[in-house]
Amino acid sequence: MKNTTALIIVDLNNDFMPGGALGAEGADAVLPVINELAAGDAYGLVVATQDWHPEEHVSFDQWPPHCVAGTPGAELHPHLDDANIDVIIRKGFDAHADSYSGFYNEHGETNGLAELLRARRIEAVDIVGIATDYCVKATAIDAATKAGFRTRVLLNGCRGVGLEPNHIPDAIAAMRAAGVEVVD
C-alpha cells in the first residue's frame, strides 16, 4: 500500500542558517535529522519549501533583505540531501504578498502545495524546518485547517527565531490550538 504521509521541509535556505542574513541560532543542527527522515521509508512524498523573494519585497519592511531570488542566500543549504526531495515549492515570490505559509500567501493565493499533496493522495503531513515561530507555524496551521491534512510538527527537526522568550512556546500553543500534533 502506498504511504499516504508526506514530509514537508520548511525553508532550509542558507539565509536562515547561522551566518545568513536572517540566521536562526543552531538551525544547521536540523540538517542531519531531516536528511535521515527524508531517507527513510516513512514518507510517500518529500516536499521542501524555499523562501524566494524579489529584490524588493513587502517582508523587507519587517526583516532584513533575505532569500533574494538567484542569490546564494536563497539556495537551500548544501548539506540538505536533495536526492530524497521529490518537489521544491517556492513561496514569497510576489513582491506585494508575504507568504510565511508554504500553502497560501497572505492574500490567500495558493503556492500549489495543497493541490500537489491531494493529487498524490496524501492524507497526513509531518512538518520540520525553520522557523518554528514563523514559517513552520504558518505552514502547520494552514495544513491542519485550510488545507485539511492530519498534521504533525516534529520539533527535533525545527529551530525557531525566538525574538522574545515567549515566541516559540506561544507558536507551539497556537499550532496545538489549531489541531496540530506537536511532537517533542
* 51 sits near Zn ion (criterion: CB under 5 A): yes
The residue annotated as part of the active site, out of 15, 28, 126, 135, is 135
Cα 15 to Cα 33, 90, 160: the distances in Å are 19, 15, 14
Q: Which is nearer to ligand VGL, 44 or 140 (CB)?
A: 140
Burial of 164 (0-12, 13-18, 19+ CB in 10 A): exposed
158 catalytic residue (yes or no): no
Residues in contact with ligand VGL by the rule CB under 6 A = 11, 16, 51, 59, 63, 100, 130-131, 134-135
Q: How many chain residues interact with Zn ion (CB under 5 A)?
A: 2
Q: Which is nearer to ligand VGL, 44 or 141 (CB)?
A: 141
Alpha helical stretches, state H, 42-136 = 113-119
Question: Which residues 57-76 are close enough to bind Zn ion by CB under 5 A?
Answer: 59
Cα 16 to Cα 13, 49, 93: the distances in Å are 6, 13, 17
94 catalytic residue (yes or no): no
135 catalytic residue (yes or no): yes
The residue annotated as part of the active site, out of 15, 28, 67, 91, is 91
Q: What is the spatial order of strands in the sheet that 5-10 belongs to?
A: 87-91, 45-51, 5-10, 124-130, 150-159, 181-183
Q: Which is nearer to Zn ion, 59 or 84 (CB)?
A: 59
Name the residues annotated as catalytic.
11, 91, 135
Q: Site residues (CB under 5 A) for Zn ion?
A: 51, 59
